Structure 1
Amino acid sequence: MTEFNEKQIEILQVAEKLFADEGFDGASIRTIAKDAGVNIAMISYYFGSKEKLLEALIMYRTSDMKMQLESILGDDLPPFDKIDRLVDLYINRINRHKCMYQIMHFELSTKKRILSMESFMNVKKENTAIFRKIIQEGQDAGVFRTDIIADLIPATVMGTLVHIRNNRAYFEQIYGFDTEEKFEAYMNTEVTKHIKQTIKALLANEN
């Protein structure tokens, strides 16, 4: 896990909010420094450039996933109980770090700027390897289908969540959500239930 000191974390958290609110191009280093209570030189010293700051932010928000996945892998639980924990892990992370995933979705999909994502990709590969082991356990036990594409399961979970959040206005209108609390309650109950049902249906060995 990448280690950041207290001041670096404070800068990263400020940058995260500004990047999400104003976009990467709209958020200036000057504004980030001002809101974080530091000078521009300190940001340059810690991160080098705004692109490097974004790369550090992505690593900060994703590098602890490996430890959480290993915890699920090591738990003595039935395969479908582990799936419940996996789905909860992904949903909780996305709900807790909405700004980060909003930024990542935009930057990685538009490819507007060249980001050095080698460290992030390495972490992602390590996490995927652990995830595959969890799925393999269920397959070895004869509980999960053997023809499932394990790498697409996190994409299914995250794709559903990102779609609903990106189309929040539509869901608020059709369900009459008039407060932040009602929308978040919907995400934490009905959407979570739907995703778990979907993933379990995909994995279930019907033989």
Structure 2
Amino acid sequence: MKEDRKESILETAERLFSENGYDGTSTRAIASEAGVNMAMLNYYFGSKEGLYKAVFERKFKGFHQTLTMLNEENISSWDKLKKYVELYVDRVSAQSCFQRLMQHELSLQQRSGMESFIVAYMLQNINEIRRILKDGIENGSFRDVDIDLTISTLFGTKYYLINLPSLASVMLGKDLTDPEVLNSDIKPRLKKHLYGLLESYLKK
């Protein structure tokens, strides 16, 4: 029950922060929508900034655990990379509001320490895909490519589709703000594109 209430607060906070921004969201509004009192919210998170950081921490830690487990699987480097792409695309399309919140925070750089806080967590997850690519090069599965720019290409494609939906919608002729379009059309299309792109670039 305790964890359920904490999750409810975090889910509500993520939605309200992404809709209204940090300054436009009060802890009182979060508590009210989550169905808890202010004392409970303060007990779990201490402050508005503590709650804000916890929203990011929850997402990053969960994905990092998934990626760590993936890297321990006894499968080929290519299969690990394909699984990573599938997990990554599924995650960013399902959590588009969080992705927008994260990019908004990084672009504004208004809160001291938040940028470095987010970047530090992002690097943990980036290091897991770097590990996949590095191992693949070392075991002869992949060509000796620029790992960092390969990762940048992967992330850049996601950024274009999720964080610039107005432009991407015009380019693709689809409404990327519509969750149904994102899931039924764009997501499988993006996976197919990234599989083909990475295979042609990486495989010998």
TM-score band w.r.t. shorter chain: 0.7 to 0.9
Q: Does the C-alpha gap of structure 1 residues 175 and 108 become closer, same or farther in structure 2, counting only changes over 3 Å?
A: closer
Conserved 8 A contact 1:14-1:35 = yes
Letter in 1 for 2:183: E
Name the CA distance, whole Å, in 2 between partners of 1:17 and 1:132.
Answer: 31
Which has the larger displacement, 190-199 or 165-174?
165-174
Residue 90, structure 1, aligned to residue 88, structure 2: yes
Pick one of 156, 166, 181 that aligns with 1:159. Answer: 156
CA contact (8 A) 2:93 2:162 kept: no
Structure 1 length-normalised TM: 0.83
CA-based RMSD of the aligned residues comes to 2.5
Partner of 1:49: 47
Contact 2:9–2:30 at 8 Å: present in 1 too? Answer: yes
- TM-score, with length taken from structure 2: 0.84
Q: What is the alpha-carbon distance in structure 2 between the residues aligned to residue 174 and residue 159 of structure 1? A: 16
Superposed CA deviations along residues 30-74 of structure 1, whole A, max 9, x for unmatched, are 111110111223222221222221111101011022322223222
% same residue: 30
Q: Do the aligned partners of 2:10 and 2:55 also contact (CA within 8 Å) in 1?
A: yes
Q: Which amino acid aligns with 2:19?
A: D
Structure-2 residue corresponding to 1:144: 142
Task: Name stretches of at least 5 consecutive residues in structure 2 with no aligned partner.
Answer: none
Q: Provide the residue aligned with 2:183 in structure 1.
A: 184
Distance in 1 between the 2:65 and 2:198 partners? Answer: 22
**For the structure 1 residues 35 and 158, does the alpha-carbon distance in structure 2 shift closer, same or farther, using more than 3 Å as the test?**
same
Q: 1:169, 1:127 → 2: CA distance?
A: 28
Q: Structure 1: which 5+ residue stretches go unaligned?
A: none
CA distance in structure 1 between the aligned counterparts of 2:76 and 2:142, rounded to whole angstroms = 11
Q: Which amino acid aligns with 1:65?
A: F
Q: What is the count of residue pairs matched by the alignment?
A: 201
In structure 1, C-alpha distance between the alignment counterparts of 2:38 and 2:120, rounded to whole Å: 30
